[in-house]
Amino acid sequence: MLSYWEQQSFLHYDYIVIGAGIVGLSTAIELRVKYPAARILVLERGLLPTGASSRNAGFACMGSLTELLDDAQYSDETEIISLYELRKKGLEKLRARLGDATIGYAANGSYELISTQELPALDKIDYLNKLLLPVTGKPAFQLVNDKLAQFGFNKEYTQALIENTCEGELNTGKMLRALADCAIAKGIEIKTGAEVIRFEDEGKEVMVEVAHPVRGASLLLKCNAVCICTNAFAAQLLPGEDVVPGRGQVLITEPIEGLKFKGVYHFDKGYYYFREIDGRVLLGGGRNLDFEGETTTELVLNERIQQDLEAKLKDIILPGTPFAIAQRWSGIMAFGKTKRPIVKAYSPRVFGAFRMGGMGVALGSETAAAVAALM
């Protein structure tokens, strides 16, 4: 049962965006730029974003050397270049929109630890640098073994160290908060705790049904067009799409006195990643230990992977350095047969932008611009 005022003022919009993560908020902002007078609503089913936007490691990822070489087994050179450029442009758009200071961005590059088994990858540095040069304008990768001793990593595991010159780091919380503030400042409505049950293109408008547990019924919203930006959860509203959830396990230590390194790091084809933040070490990954178990949208911990992360922290990253774990969490990413995001029109009034492949920080802004252009 609705009031007269509710029916008048709260049920009709020009655009509704489902999902308040990086892509959803960026899509709403792009729509505001295109349509200054439009009524735009963002719906988020949780009080906070549910997937990976607020639960990642704060990496501005382009792809490490071994990760790109692994991609080359399934993609041609044109696709590798195209995706790298999309990540680069997306990161530049995010930084320009919000400002480096606001999001805690530091263009310090990143590093990749190379194990004995991965040493043959060093022979491909020149090949990838040449391939990516039209996009990067500088060598993307360089060998920096002279820095190994100062970081204190396990010498038996870390046979070489590669610097990724085009990557950076940011503060995930500040970035997502700034995106939300930007949207609100532009007159975009954001409603949290609003789970979309279903939607239907009715020809002249789209009906979006939202759960309303307090009133014991659902609420029917109407809009000219809707965009689904729910990443790993997109298949719940768009069954049959090539979206496979991939849960990422993360832990962070208590502050460590005399920590020898700063910046962000990868190893094992990007399946593991760690960084220094506020004098702590944040470490995530290990999905490759249990692909089946981590193909889920449940935000719970995988004990086996958490133990593996802790072991790698002890044996590879902080050998001989005592530490204590402060927090553990997980986030839900989205993958598919390719690493290219899905940007698609399902009808003249229904659109989707999702499947960031674990690189939503870099890909999100350009993906949002692409789907807004379709709309």
Q: According to the model, what pLDDT value does residue 217 have?
A: 83
What is the side-by-side strand order in the sheet with 244-253?
Answer: 141-143, 160-164, 110-114, 264-267, 272-277, 280-285, 244-253, 325-335
| pLDDT beyond 90 at 1 | no
CA distance 303 to 308: 9
Q: And the tokens for 83?
A: 């995706």
Indicate whether 375 pLDDT > 80: yes
pLDDT at 74: 86
* pTM value surpassing 0.85: yes
Structure-token pair, residue 154: 């396990």
CATH of 4-53+174-241+338-374, one of 3.40.47.10, 3.90.79.10, 3.50.50.60, 3.30.230.10: 3.50.50.60
At 212 the pLDDT is 85
Query: Using one digit for the tens of pLDDT, what is the confidence trace for 210-226?
Result: 998 777 789 999 999 99
Instruction: Give the pLDDT band (50/70/90) at residue 140.
Output: very high
The residue to which tokens 């090539």 are assigned = 242
Residue 279 confidence (pLDDT) = 95
Domain boundaries, the chain: 4-53+174-241+338-374
- pLDDT at 50 (0 to 100): 82
CB distance 152 to 260 below 8 Å: yes
CB contact at 8 A, 210 and 221:
yes
- Measured in residues, the chain has a length of 375
Average pLDDT value for residue range 166-177: 95
Which residue type does 25 have?
A: L
Q: Compute the distance between CA of residue 230 and CA of residue 30 in angstroms, rounded to an integer.
A: 17
Q: Which of 62, 3, 24, 13 is nearest to 339 (CA)?
A: 62
